[in-house]
Amino acid sequence: MSFSADVLDPNSKEVKELKDLIQMILELVGKPNLADFFPILKPFDPQRIRRDIKRGYDGLHSLIENNIDRRMKQRASSIERSGDFLDALLDHSEQYGPDELDRREVRLLLMDLFIGGTDTSSATVEWVMTELLHNPEKMAKVKQELCRKNWPRV
């Protein structure tokens, strides 16, 4: 885990905000953009995709930055560490100094971790489902195998 229990609490406002921001960014990045097909439109951002992506990234940066701030305060007031990925990054930064790994890089690494991990998994599942829908014989084969494994709701 990167933020320990913070990311696991389904009732947390912060967790919901994180999920919403990541979902928004992934939807916008995957959306067809006229400016990609007609480069002359790029400065105008006719669909406001670039503006909305920036807003999503800014929100995600802020959320992660707040988590880093909170962790830094916890670390200053307590010897006990969470032992999660964020602690490992902060330990590395403290040990080797900001020339090796600064706060901005920690924030960007965490952002890449969340977005990359989410996008990769969801893209893979979508791709598999699309392939199965286009190949009914393979879909039937998968259903048979799942039924043999006692997954009857497929």
pLDDT in tens, 25-55: 989 988 999 999 999 999 999 999 999 999 9
DSSP 8-30: T-TT-HHHHHHHHHHHHHHHHHH
Q: Average pLDDT of 142-153? A: 77
Residue 134 phi, psi dihedral angles, 5° rounding: -85, -10
pLDDT in tens, 85-138: 898 999 889 888 888 889 999 999 898 888 877 767 777 787 788 888 888 888
Find, among 66, 73, 81, the residue nearest to 21 by Cα.
Answer: 66
Dihedral (Cα; 10, 15, 19, 21), 10-degree rounding: 160
Query: Would the pLDDT of 152 be above 70?
Result: no
